[in-house]
Amino acid sequence: MPRITVFILCAACVGGCANPAREAAFRHEEVAIYEARQQAAVHCEPGVDCEAAWALARAFIKAHSVTRIVRADDMAIETALPHSFGFVYLAASKGQADDGRTLIRLKAMCRGMYDTAGEAGLLYSTCAHSIVAIEAEFHAWMAARP
- The enclosing domain of 103 has a CATH number of 3.30.310
* 49, burial (CB in 10 Å: exposed 0-12, middle 13-18, buried 19+): middle
Q: What is the mean pLDDT of the chain?
A: 85
According to the model, what pLDDT value does residue 8 have?
47
Spatial neighbors of 92 by CB under 8 A, at least 6 apart, are 57, 58, 61, 76, 77, 104, 105, 106, 107
Closest residue by Cα to residue 78 from 64, 63, 87, 89? 89
pLDDT at residue 17 greater than cutoff 70: no
Segments forming the whole domain that contains residue 10: 2-143
Name the more confident of 23 and 92: 92
According to the model, what pLDDT value does residue 6 have?
44
According to the model, what pLDDT value does residue 146 have?
63
Percent of the chain with pLDDT over 70: 86
Number of folded domains that form the chain: 1
According to the model, what pLDDT value does residue 20 have?
81
Window from 4-13, 23-32, 37-46, 98-107 with minimum mean pLDDT: 4-13
